[in-house]
Amino acid sequence: MRVWIAGSGYGSGRVMPAEEARISLFDHGITVGDGVFETIKAVGGRAFALTRHLRRLAHSAEGLGLFPPDLDLLAGGIGEALAANPEVDPARVRVTVTAGPGPLGSERSGESLTYAVAVADFATPEPTVDVAVVPWLRNERGALTGLKTTSYAENVRALDYAHRRGAGEAIFANTAGNLCEGTGSNIFVAGPATQGQLATPPLSAGPLAGITRALVLEWFGGEQSDVPMSALAGLTEAFLTSSGRDVQPIRAIDGHVLADAPGPLTRKAMAVFAERSAAEMDP
């Protein structure tokens, strides 16, 4: 596997074998998780929804108070990393920008950013997924709410919790007792609590502004409304969205099997997303 790095002694970017890539142990991304990232799907060497991903990366960096990342440099680096790994298809493209070398404490040095692009195989998602609700809450008013930062260990912990219970994704409630999101996915639901309509938590509930979520809302529809956690038991159908899963039906929540997986709304959303995303590489 070949990776692309810029900053941190690599200037304006270089492709090299992954084993040769070196990032300082003083990099603030490593010492305190002071960085932002994106996960992008690439098919045939082309990154899907690249403009939206770069825009969100810039938003995350601004929210974290980082210097604005050079998005043209990154777009070039993504292209170079994909061209250097043509056998990886579909590819999971991981774009990371950190605050760069810094002190061992939380204060920043203000030196240059570190940029990295790595690729790996994007595993084909399972046809359905079971989810487990975790006992920890998403804080919809936190400093990092809605930002895709490298401080992701809460998600690692939650996903491990779900895996130990035989589930493929963990679901967070927020501090208001409403549905929020998964560790790496957004959630859409339908049932009596939503009058049978498709609903997804609004951004004010604290989820990441998922790109797949936004495309499903634009291409297919759905309400953005708060869903109390108590409504989950009565759901008739539900699905997850993410760059790797696209639209993935939820089969069971905490062992409670939903009536339909995929249900009728999910099936339509899957079909519309498959058709539109195949037709538009950078929607």
Ligand X SMILES: Cc1ncc(COP(=O)(O)O)c(C=O)c1O
The residues that touch ligand X, with contacts defined as CB under 6 A, are: 39, 148, 181, 184-186, 207-208, 210-213, 241-243
Q: Kindly state the smallest distance separating residue 212's Cβ from ligand X, in Å.
A: 3
Euclidean distance between CA atoms 273 and 247, whole angstroms: 7
Q: What is the DSSP string of 201-227?
A: --GGG-----HHHHHHHHHT--EE---
Q: Kindly state the smallest distance separating residue 47's Cβ from ligand X, in Å.
A: 12
- Of the two residues 69 and 102, which places its CB atom closer to ligand X in the complex? 69
CB neighbours of residue 110 within 10 Å:
9
- Of the two residues 58 and 101, which places its CB atom closer to ligand X in the complex? 58
Q: Kindly state the smallest distance separating residue 57's Cβ from ligand X, in Å.
A: 11
User: Is the separation of the CB atoms in 181 and 171 below 8 Å?
Assistant: yes
How far is residue 11 from each of residues 97, 136, 153, measured CA to CA in Å? Answer: 14, 41, 29
- Of the two residues 2 and 138, which places its CB atom closer to ligand X in the complex? 138
Q: Kindly state the smallest distance separating residue 182's Cβ from ligand X, in Å.
A: 6
Name the residue among 198, 195, 219 with its Cα closest to residue 271: 219
Q: How far is CA 81 from the centre of its chain?
A: 20
**Cross-strand bridge partners of residue 16:** 3
Contacts of 17-24 with CB under 8 Å at 24 or more apart are: 18/118, 21/116, 23/114, 23/116, 24/101
Q: Kindly state the smallest distance separating residue 262's Cβ from ligand X, in Å.
A: 18
The first and second tokens of residue 173, run together, are: 């409630």
Residue 272, SS3?
helix
User: Is the separation of the CB atoms in 39 and 110 below 8 Å?
Assistant: no
Residue 46, SS3?
strand
Q: Kindly state the smallest distance separating residue 125's Cβ from ligand X, in Å.
A: 12
- Of the two residues 59 and 108, which places its CB atom closer to ligand X in the complex? 59
- Of the two residues 39 and 128, which places its CB atom closer to ligand X in the complex? 39
Q: Kindly state the smallest distance separating residue 61's Cβ from ligand X, in Å.
A: 16
- Of the two residues 184 and 263, which places its CB atom closer to ligand X in the complex? 184
How far is residue 174 from each of residues 107, 131, 213, 222, 254, measured CA to CA in Å? Answer: 29, 16, 18, 20, 17
- Of the two residues 10 and 152, which places its CB atom closer to ligand X in the complex? 152
